[in-house]
């Protein structure tokens, strides 16, 4: 719950109703000529400051107040009595100025979260009620674990926007984006293409059936589809290591290779975060070559006038 009182820097008070018996009249701001407690917090948003907060089961509130005289007040900081009663010191004074203590750093962490939640709440309450359609495509191997949560949160906050979601290989998604058929796409690439932004980097691992032996066979049975972005890197690593291999998957569909790998008939190259009940990362003890890292690359959201794409990109970047 957030209170947004109409207050200014000289009269804002923080009321605390702590279960330990601290009076509700205690405050972090002392008003009229007194100082502001947490200098680090004031620098978070170029002068935004906390005006209503407390401990325990207390009402937390934030007001985004731009204070012109904040810097002149930093030298007048006074520790509230309720912090002293709790044995908390959030800053140290020295000849060089103020520094935060361990407790102060912890409180700063919560202040960051509170300001972020405040910004999100105000943004949602004051943003236009968008309507329309957003086209979003990702490779199948990056759908989990994050994409369902992103789609759920975006749909909750923009209920009148239709999401047209599709999954495909990286090269196909790039083509669709370049042709204007997608608004936002994610890809898996070693290096981002023009206009792409790296939002995460993952290790590429050899995977196979649990307690499987397919990785020990020679020639090594591979189940990587011909359109997979990882195929060329995996084959190059095997060739450089002098390991013979055989391609046993004729389908472009990655599900065929996954089924064969889970049956211990071949192995795959997959991202580090892939979790499957039928496949695990192979502990090969150096008998298979190391694979390169791949990046999750974001395309879209930078075209002027496409507010929906820009909004979706914000949700994606919060998670990655």
Q: Where along the chain do its domains lie? A: 1-126, 133-320
Burial tier of 283 (Cβ tally within 10 Å: 0-12, 13-18, 19+): exposed
Give residue for tokens 């450089």.
240
How far apart are the C-alpha atoms of 177 and 136, rounded to whole Å?
10
The DSSP secondary structure of 107-135, one letter per residue, reads HHHHHHHHHHHHHHHHHHHHS----EEEE
Q: State whether residue 234 is helix, strand or coil.
A: helix
Q: State whether residue 84 is helix, strand or coil.
A: helix
Give this prediction's pTM.
0.60
Regions of the chain short of the pLDDT cut 70: 1-86, 123-130, 273-277
Q: State whether residue 238 is helix, strand or coil.
A: helix
Determine the pLDDT at residue 128.
Answer: 59
How far apart are the C-alpha atoms of 99 and 111, rounded to whole Å?
16
How far apart are the C-alpha atoms of 299 and 269, rounded to whole Å?
24
How far apart are the C-alpha atoms of 153 and 103, rounded to whole Å?
33
Q: Is 4 left (phi over 0), alpha (psi -120 to 50) or beta?
A: beta
The neighbouring-strand residues paired with 164 are 135
How far apart are the C-alpha atoms of 311 and 54, rounded to whole Å?
32
How far apart are the C-alpha atoms of 262 and 214, rounded to whole Å?
10
Determine the pLDDT at residue 83.
Answer: 58
Q: State whether residue 221 is helix, strand or coil.
A: strand
Tokens coding 243: 């390991």
Q: State the pairing for strand pair 293-300/184-189.
A: antiparallel
Q: Is 265 left (phi over 0), alpha (psi -120 to 50) or beta?
A: alpha
How far apart are the C-alpha atoms of 56 and 38, rounded to whole Å?
19
- Using alpha carbons, select from 139, 163, 165, 106 the residue that is nearest to residue 253: 139
Give residue for tokens 């994610």.
186
Determine the pLDDT at residue 183.
Answer: 96
Report whether 197 contacts 298 (CB < 8 A). Answer: yes
Helix (H) or strand (E) holding 186: strand 184-189
Query: pLDDT (tens digit, 9 = 90+) per residue, 139-157?
Result: 988 998 899 999 999 998 8
- Using alpha carbons, select from 195, 203, 185, 194 the residue that is nearest to residue 139: 185
Domain 133-320 is found in CATH 3.40.190.290: yes
The DSSP secondary structure of 22-57, one letter per residue, reads --TT--SB--TT--BS-HHHHTTTTS-EEEE--SSS
How far apart are the C-alpha atoms of 38 and 195, rounded to whole Å?
40
Query: pLDDT (tens digit, 9 = 90+) per residue, 12-58?
Result: 332 323 333 333 333 333 333 333 333 334 443 333 333 333 333 22
Determine the pLDDT at residue 211.
Answer: 93
Determine the pLDDT at residue 115.
Answer: 75
Determine the pLDDT at residue 22.
Answer: 33
Determine the pLDDT at residue 47.
Answer: 36
How far apart are the C-alpha atoms of 20 and 94, rounded to whole Å?
31
């Amino acid at each position: 719950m957030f209170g947004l009182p109409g207050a200014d820097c000289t009269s804002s008070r923080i009321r605390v109703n702590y279960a330990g018996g601290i009076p509700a009249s205690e405050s972090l701001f002392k008003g009229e000529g007194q100082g502001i407690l947490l200098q680090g917090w004031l620098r978070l948003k170029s002068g935004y400051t906390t005006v209503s907060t407390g401990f325990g089961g207390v009402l937390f509130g934030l007001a985004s107040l731009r204070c012109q005289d904040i810097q002149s007040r930093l030298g007048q900081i006074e520790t509230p009595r309720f912090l002293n009663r709790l044995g908390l010191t959030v800053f140290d004074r020295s000849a060089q100025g103020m520094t935060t203590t361990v407790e102060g750093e912890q409180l700063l962490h919560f202040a960051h979260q509170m300001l972020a939640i405040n910004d999100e709440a105000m943004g949602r309450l004051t943003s236009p009620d968008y309507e329309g359609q957003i086209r979003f495509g990702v490779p199948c191997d990056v759908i989990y674990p994050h994409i369902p949560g992103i789609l759920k949160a975006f749909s909750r906050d923009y209920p009148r926007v239709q999401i047209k979601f599709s999954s495909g290989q990286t090269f196909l998604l790039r083509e669709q984006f370049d042709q204007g058929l997608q608004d936002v796409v994610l890809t898996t690439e070693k290096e981002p293409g023009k206009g792409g932004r790296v939002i995460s980097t993952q290790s590429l691992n050899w995977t196979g059936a649990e307690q499987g032996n397919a990785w020990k066979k020679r020639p090594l049975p591979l189940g990587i589809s011909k359109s997979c972005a990882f195929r060329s890197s995996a084959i190059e690593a095997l060739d450089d290591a002098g390991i013979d291999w055989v391609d046993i998957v004729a389908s472009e569909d990655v599900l065929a290779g996954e089924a064969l790998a889970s049956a211990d008939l071949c192995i795959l190259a997959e991202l580090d975060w892939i979790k499957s009940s039928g496949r695990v990362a192979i502990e090969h003890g150096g008998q298979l070559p190391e694979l390169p890292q791949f990046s999750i690359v974001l395309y879209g959201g930078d075209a002027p006038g496409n507010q929906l794409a820009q909004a979706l990109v914000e949700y994606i970047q919060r998670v990655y």
